[in-house]
Amino acid sequence: MPAKINLPSFATTEDVVKELKPGYPVYCLRLAELKRQARYFLDNFPGRVMYAVKCNPHLAVLNALYEAGIRHFDTASLAEVALVREHLPQADCYFMHPVKPRAAIMTAHQVYGVDHYVIDHEKELDKIVDVTGGGDGKVVLVRIVTPVHEAQYQLSDKFGISAEDAPALLNKVHAAHFQTGVAFHVGSQCRNPQAFVDGINTALDVIEAAGVPVHYLDVGGGFPALYQDDSPPELEAYFEAIYAAFDQSRLRRDCVLMCEPGRGLVASGCTLLVQVQLRKDDKLYINDGVYQSLSETLTGKMKLPARLINPKREITAEYQDFTILGPTCDNLDILPSPFHLPADADEGDWIEIGQTGAYSNSAATRFNGFFPKTFVAVDAPPLLPR
């Protein structure tokens, strides 16, 4: 069992407010929700489920996922490998960044026993051969570019080899005595299951052209979470589409199907409790923003559910839109979408912001001295979009 993480625990977010009266942001983890969502993936995805650690590496999150049965972790840096392997010694890490420092490959391999790697260029294969001594039970997956459909973030500009050039690379991987695999990422917050089907079909074309045995097919992350005004299809529709495409293929019977969810697994597992520091007309200045936990409101235009909390006073039933401004001195630190909140919102009130389990704490900077680091556990259900 992993070492226990003892978080202060509360029945509701109102209790957090009453007890702590926090003037600093508080991440309110929903451990039961994290476990429920992990079990949903494990029970329904027709293959192996890896968690993409970059999405939320907090140890209490890793623990919750591990306790629910997640044993495979998609890591992109030596620091992430070390975090997972030191904390969860029984878990497997997969080194899924296509560009790795030699020292990171060496330490991942020699110290942490990592034996799954992703590449998208033959020079990266040379590196892995140089550093680890080559094949012999290890796995190298080739990351390919696949057609994009309705994803909020495109991830194929930076990584991935074209379907045209991939077969030759796959042949080199096989010739170097590695077990082979093909991986792709359809883009984050992908709203169309067909993207996965097209990805699988592109991978199958590559595999057929390469003519080598392939042991792993990794469909990556991109599974969507719910945001305000953004209701993608149910995850089940993605799993069914993936299963159908995989099942119809003529891949080896022992080919392992894998996925690497981040957002879809953990977004609902945390809310963020912030405090209003000043009201100016219809503007609310709060103590967290785009340089800390809320960067995705800017980069991905995510609209987050929000509700006002103040147990000390009667709150009006009248609502209006407020512009939300973060704490740093930068003009960029204004949320692009307003929050719809009670019209008497004012200094000292708290706002609970939902669906902040993904890319919140993991993407926060220390700019201007603002860095949220308080985590508590809350039993109440997560705050979902209306």
- Note whether 143 and 161 are within 8 A (CB): yes
| Residue type (1 letter), 284 | L
Smallest distance, ligand PLP to C-beta of residue 100, A: 13
| Residue type (1 letter), 171 | N
Q: Which of 263, 286, 292, 360 binds ligand PLP (CB under 6 A)?
A: 263
Nearer to ligand PLP, 327 or 382 (CB): 382
Alpha helix positions (H), the chain: 13-20, 31-44, 59-68, 78-87, 102-110, 122-132, 166-175, 194-210, 235-247, 263-266, 296-299
- Mask of contacts with ligand PLP, 137-176, x by CB under 6 A? ----------------------------------------
Q: Does 74 bind ligand PLP (CB under 6 A)?
A: yes
Smallest distance, ligand PLP to C-beta of residue 1, A: 26
Nearer to ligand PLP, 297 or 310 (CB): 297
Encoded tokens for 15: 């209790």
- Note whether 26 and 20 are within 8 A (CB): yes
Nearer to ligand PLP, 223 or 370 (CB): 223
- Mask of contacts with ligand PLP, 207-246, x by CB under 6 A? -------------xxxx-----------------------
**Segment contacting ligand PLP (CB under 6 A): 15-23, 168-176, 256-264, 361-369?**
256-264
Q: Does 261 bind ligand PLP (CB under 6 A)?
A: yes
- Mask of contacts with ligand PLP, 2-41, x by CB under 6 A? ----------------------------------------
Q: Does 127 bind ligand PLP (CB under 6 A)?
A: no
- Tell me the CA distances in angstroms from 231 to 97, 126, 303, 383, one per residue in order: 30, 44, 11, 15
In sequence order, the 6+-apart residues with CB closer than 8 A to the CB of 181 are: 116, 139, 140, 141, 142, 214, 215, 216, 217, 218
The string of DSSP codes covering 146-182 is: ----SEEE--TTTS-B-TTTHHHHHHHHHHTT-EEEE
Nearer to ligand PLP, 291 or 359 (CB): 359
Q: Does 264 bind ligand PLP (CB under 6 A)?
A: yes
Q: Which residue is nearest to ligand PLP, using beta carbons?
A: 221
Q: Does 54 bind ligand PLP (CB under 6 A)?
A: yes
Q: Does 192 bind ligand PLP (CB under 6 A)?
A: no
Partners of residue 339 on adjacent β-strands: 322
Q: Does 55 bind ligand PLP (CB under 6 A)?
A: yes
User: What is d(CA 297, CA 334) in angstroms, rounded to the nearest whole number?
Assistant: 9
| Residue type (1 letter), 239 | F
Nearer to ligand PLP, 225 or 276 (CB): 225
- Note whether 307 and 318 are within 8 A (CB): no
Q: What are phi and psi of 26, to 5 degrees?
A: -130, 125
Helix (H), strand (E), coil (C) string for 71-83: CEEEECCHHHHHH
Encoded tokens for 368: 């201007």
Q: Where are the beta strands (DSSP E) in 223-364?
A: 256-259, 270-280, 283-286, 306-309, 319-325, 339-342, 350-353
Q: Which of 47, 181, 262, 357 binds ligand PLP (CB under 6 A)?
A: 262
Nearer to ligand PLP, 25 or 262 (CB): 262
User: What is d(CA 264, CA 186) in angstroms, rounded to the nearest whole number?
Assistant: 13
Smallest distance, ligand PLP to C-beta of residue 161, A: 14
Q: Does 188 bind ligand PLP (CB under 6 A)?
A: yes
Q: Does 116 bind ligand PLP (CB under 6 A)?
A: no
Smallest distance, ligand PLP to C-beta of residue 311, A: 35
Q: Does 47 bind ligand PLP (CB under 6 A)?
A: no
Smallest distance, ligand PLP to C-beta of residue 188, A: 3
Q: Does 52 bind ligand PLP (CB under 6 A)?
A: yes
Partners of residue 92 on adjacent β-strands: 72
Smallest distance, ligand PLP to C-beta of residue 264, A: 6
Binding site for ligand PLP (CB under 6 A): 52, 54-55, 74, 96, 185, 188, 220-223, 260-264
